[in-house]
Amino acid sequence: MLRAIVIGYGNPSRQDDGVGHYVADKIDQLYNNQIDVLICHQLGIELVETIKDYDVVIFVDAHAGERSTNLEITMLESIYSTSAFTHFVKPNSLIALTENLYRKKPKAFLVSINGYNFDFGTEFSPETQKWADIAVKEILKLIDQS
Amino acid sequence: MAKKIAIEPVTRIEGHARITINLGDDGKVENAYFHVDQFRGFEKFSEGRMYYEMIQITPRICGICPVSHHLAAAKACDAIIGVTIPRTATLLRELMHMGQMIQSHSMHFFHLAGPDLLFSFDADPAIRNVAGIIKVNPDLALKAVKLRKFGQEVIQHLGTKKVHPVFAVPGGVNSALSEEKRDIIYSQIDEIASYILKGISLAKHWVEDNMDIIKNFAVFPSGYMGLVKDGALELYDGQVRLVDKDGNLLEQFDGSDYLKYIGEHVEDWSYLKFPFYRKMGYPEGVYRVGPLARLNVAERISTPMANEEFKKFKEIGNGKPVEGTLWYHYARLIEDLYAIERLKEILDDPDILSTDIRADSLQLGSQGVGCLEAPRGTLFHHYQVDEGGRLTKVNLIIASGHNNWSMSKSVYEVAKKYVDGNNLTEGMLNRVEAAIRAHDPCLSCSTHALGQMPIAIEIYDSNGKLLNKIMRG
């Protein structure tokens, strides 16, 4: 049986930045026994130990800036990119490290939802809320198709 | 009309940083600065909230050392309600803190510092990273992952979550440790200690082969600050000790008195303030914190294996403080060893499974200070509250803030020594970054804001013209 995990990350105290948590939590509530869920503030290198045991890994995050789309679903390539100081590891770097360390390469996606407001607080902006709920459905489709 | 302050961009990692290097007419470095370009937000944001919310709010400053904020906030809240928490609660908080130290110190050494040490500062950046370590030494990389995972699991066993635990409360902690969880953690201690010893061995080999670099890499005098308990290294409790550049005792005080001793200087080129020892003024009173400083202020370590390494560390300075910035790496691993030994001591304590974990209080004081040693250095949380318990003022002095002067000084020293504007190489700039990296800064903590941390290195000629700019993700 195919094993899937949804990893929602971001800062839930910075409004739309917490959308990854919301989506992952929603999936956990709806599909508690079928899909594993992990919620974290940021991605750390130790996650390779978790990822290696899955066939499909879906990262969920907010995106910001000049993108035009409210919901982006990207298939992740296994590419490691270095970092000067940060403890944060990018999703495709995690996949690359998992592949190099354990010889396992799960199918991986990044689902990102546009964030409009990153102020201090826990409420989403209406557009982000709307697309977060759509993202839940899209993630389920992704897992089904995999 | 309400004012709104926008902070952009914001995601979740360690702030924005920038290094500028100014060259003279001859292409040599004239000066260099380490800037932090983020805005302070958490202190203002917290005003008006209830004091006890800080235990859950402040960990969200940081995804790396949330436990430090969680526990410092809890200590400040204990002070506000005027309680001494039960012994078991102290042990459990310290246990969580040791998990945090192990995950943070181990990750820094193996993930961030390790590539420089294994491959040299001049190695191809395409291989000078964790992926490169996996290629040449997969066993070491696996150990690094397991160390980090172990520390995170200790936090999770106690706080249900790895990153933003829900555990400490005003007056203690909210759940006792089960025998089953204690045994799970305990069963891994020997293995984890062996991994840390492997890291120490690796660091020592590197030291033997690179003493010339270490002796010339950002070596400068400063004061040092850290917690001690009966003169020994202390990470959770104890008194703040401040020593001068020769190791002479300047002050030893309770963390709640920090305002009497510590001032914060402001420079117009950085949002990050520059703390200093008030009696000496700025910049004469600048000091360093973190592993190097903690070992410089301590007389001993209370656990046996770490104390043996500590004695070797002390020999480096011949009785004086160890000044070389690259010694931070060795000091960090010695603390890592202390943390796993201390963790074992705590789990062996007969009180550890007690359910006496919370002290009640109906008091509400006007303020409280929480102080402990975060992985990167001394952390102060200071809250003032009104009669209803709402926060009227919040002051956070964060480890990477204490080290602000030291990071800037290190950048200058290393740039002056290694950077040649006429013949710029990636290895030169990597050395400048490594000077910062040795401090393991967490800039989202020190500016209390969140943001991407592309580090930009900008090099200007004597006319102020930008010659080169390198971005690092």
- In DSSP notation, B278-335 reads TTT-TTTT-EE-SHHHHHHH-SB-SSHHHHHHHHHHHHHTTTSPP-BTTHHHHHHHHH
CB-nearest to A80 from B6, B129, B145 is: B129
Q: Mean pLDDT: which of A4-13, A87-96, A130-139, B51-60 is highest?
A: A130-139
Evaluate the CA torsion angle A66, A67, A70, A75 in order and state its sign: negative
Average pLDDT over residues B103-124: 85
Residue B7 scores a pLDDT above 80:
no
Cis amide prior to B138 (ω within 30 degrees): no
Q: A87–B111: do the CB atoms touch at under 8 Å?
A: yes
- Per the structure block, which two tokens stand in for B438? 């040795």
**What pLDDT score was predicted for residue A110?**
95
**What pLDDT score was predicted for residue B36?**
66
Residue B421 scores a pLDDT above 80:
no
Residue ranges with strand state E in B96-246: 168-169, 172-173, 223-229, 232-233, 239-243
Residue B169 scores a pLDDT above 60:
yes
**What pLDDT score was predicted for residue B444?**
54
Residue B59 scores a pLDDT above 60:
yes
Residue B422 CB neighbours (<10 A): 8
pLDDT band at B28 (very low <50, low <70, confident <90, very high): confident
pLDDT band at A67 (very low <50, low <70, confident <90, very high): low
Is A145 at the interface with chain B, CB within 8 A?
Answer: no
**pLDDT tens digits for range B227-258:** 999 999 999 999 999 999 999 999 999 999 99
Average pLDDT over residues A105-120: 89
| B45 contacts in chain A (CB < 8 Å) | 120
Q: A82–B138: do the CB atoms touch at under 8 Å?
A: no
Chain B residue with the nearest C-alpha to that of A41 = B63
Preferred mutation among B8, B12, B57, B328 to probe A, highest tally of A CBs within 10 A:
B12
Of residues A70, A104, A27, A81, the one with CA closest to residue B130: A81
Instruction: Report chain B's mean pLDDT, rounded to a whole number.
Output: 87
Are B377 and B108 spatial neighbours (Cβ–Cβ below 8 Å)? no
Collapsed DSSP state (helix, strand, coil) of residue B242: strand
pLDDT band at B191 (very low <50, low <70, confident <90, very high): very high
Residue B271 scores a pLDDT above 80:
no
**What pLDDT score was predicted for residue B131?**
82
**What pLDDT score was predicted for residue B5?**
22
**What pLDDT score was predicted for residue B15?**
46
**What pLDDT score was predicted for residue B137?**
87
Q: B7–A97: do the CB atoms touch at under 8 Å?
A: no
Q: What is the Cα–Cα distance from A73 to A142, expressed in whole angstroms?
A: 9
Q: Residues A83-120, buried b or exposed e (16+ Cβ, 10 A)?
A: bbbbbbbbbbbbbbbbbbbbeeebbbbbbbbbbebbbb
Q: ipTM of this complex > 0.90?
A: no
CB-nearest to A65 from B9, B142, B164 is: B9
Q: A49–B12: do the CB atoms touch at under 8 Å?
A: no
- If one compares A41 and B384, the residue with the highest pLDDT of the two is B384
Average pLDDT over residues B397-412: 88
Q: How far is A130 from chain B (nearest CA, A)?
A: 20
Q: How far is B30 from chain A (nearest CA, A)?
A: 24
**What pLDDT score was predicted for residue B446?**
46
| A82 contacts in chain B (CB < 8 Å) | 125, 128-131, 472-473
Are B71 and B62 spatial neighbours (Cβ–Cβ below 8 Å)? no
Residue B11 CB neighbours (<10 A): 22
Residue B6 scores a pLDDT above 50:
no
Question: What pTM did the predictor assign?
Answer: 0.87
Residue B275 CB neighbours (<10 A): 27
Taking only residues 85 to 114 of chain A, the set having a beta carbon closer than 8 angstroms to any beta carbon of chain B reads: 85-88, 90, 93, 96-97, 100-101
Residue B316 scores a pLDDT above 90:
yes
- Per the structure block, which two tokens stand in for B311? 């004695």
Range in A4-18, B133-147, B407-421, B424-438 with the lowest mean pLDDT: B424-438
Q: What is the Cα–Cα distance from A98 to B401, expressed in whole angstroms?
A: 35
- Supply the DSSP string of A80-140, one letter for each residue: ----SS-----HHHHHHHHHHHHS---EEEEEEEE-S--SSBSPPPHHHHHHHHHHHHHHH
Pairing of strands B391-397, B377-385: antiparallel
Q: What is the Cα–Cα distance from B94 to B100, expressed in whole angstroms?
A: 10
Pairing of strands B168-169, B172-173: antiparallel
Give, as one character, the DSSP assignment of residue A69. Answer: -
Average pLDDT over residues B397-420: 88
Residue B270 scores a pLDDT above 50:
yes
Average pLDDT over residues A46-64: 92
Average pLDDT over residues B182-208: 95
Is A71 at the interface with chain B, CB within 8 A?
Answer: no
- Per the structure block, which two tokens stand in for B463? 């006319």
Is B129 at the interface with chain A, CB within 8 A?
Answer: yes
Is B98 at the interface with chain A, CB within 8 A?
Answer: no
| B64 contacts in chain A (CB < 8 Å) | 42, 87
- If one compares A10 and A99, the residue with the highest pLDDT of the two is A99
| A40 contacts in chain B (CB < 8 Å) | 63, 162-163
Give the DSSP H or E segment for A56.
Answer: strand A56-63
**pLDDT tens digits for range B290-305:** 999 999 999 999 999 9
